[in-house]
Amino acid sequence: MRFLRHYVIGLVCLAMGFLVVWQPLPTQAQGAAPAPGKPALYEFGAQWCIPCKEMKEVMAALKASHGDQVEFRMVYVDEERPLFTEYKIVAIPTQVFLDASGKEVDRHLGALPKEEVLKKLKELKFIR
C-alpha cells in the first residue's frame, strides 16, 4: 500500500513537472522579431491543414486592410520548424500576438474569423 501511494505521488509530480515545462511561455524568436516599432501576428500552421488554409485567407485580408499597422506572417511547420520550437507551438492553427518589441502578449489556439482577429487586435491596441 505504501509503495502504491509513493508511486501515485511520483506520477502526479512527474505530470505536473511536464505541464510546467511544456506550458507555452512568452518568447522572442531569434531573427524572427517583427519589424521595429510594429506589432505582429504570426499564424502558425501547415499547408495541408484545412483550418490553416482558412486562416491564410483571413491573414491575407487583414494584411491588405491593416498591413501598415501590423505585420501579418504565415509560419508553416514544414518550412520554419525552428520557430515552432521557439514559440512552443503544440497544435495548429495557433495565432501568436507580438508587441512592437517582439514580446508575446497573447496567443490563441484554433481558427478565428476575421472579425474575432480584428477584435483581438483592437483589444491589444495593435490597430485603431
Q: Which residues are catalytic?
A: 49, 52
Q: CA 85 to CA 120: how far, in whole Å?
A: 24
Q: CA 61 to CA 64: how far, in whole Å?
A: 5
**Going by C-beta distance under 8 Å and a sequence separation of 6 or more, which residues neighbour residue 86?**
27, 29, 30, 32
